[in-house]
Amino acid sequence: MDQALDRWLDNPYFASIAFFSVAILALIVFLFCFEFAVRYKTWDEIKNGNLAVALATGGKIFGICNLFRFSIQAGDSLYQSLVWAAFGFVLLLAAYFVFEFLTPVFRIDDEIKRDNRAVGFIAMIISISLSYVIGATVLS
């Protein structure tokens, strides 16, 4: 069975579809998990035009996809790419909580829910920046 799958993954078109599909499914799962970490309903807030939530969520999306990019670029297998993305997601989630902890003057979730775009932007930049740091470890 593994040999047949390896033969399919040797085809660049099939490999692209496989990596793309796994990345999309993982992204959906990770965003679903992130929904439990915040005090607002992400998609309801985005639907209502909350740009701060959209920025923070966009940073998470970019971060996870960037981790997949680094893993694919390193020549990792489909399974290894998924593991790196999951590991990276946990680190990005931890960074979100550290960000919350390091700003005792206000609550990050409350500010993002109130559409504080500056806080949403910083949350996005943290996710994107740290995805590059995490991704660099994939290549080492």
Q: What's the pLDDT tens digit per position in 45-79?
A: 999 999 999 999 999 999 999 988 998 888 878 88
| Cα dihedral 88→94→95→96 (10° resolution) | 110
pTM of the predicted model, to two decimals? 0.87
* Rounded Cα–Cα distance for residues 37 and 51 (Å): 19
Average pLDDT taken over every residue of the chain: 90
Average pLDDT of the segment spanning 99-115:
92
Residue type, 22: V
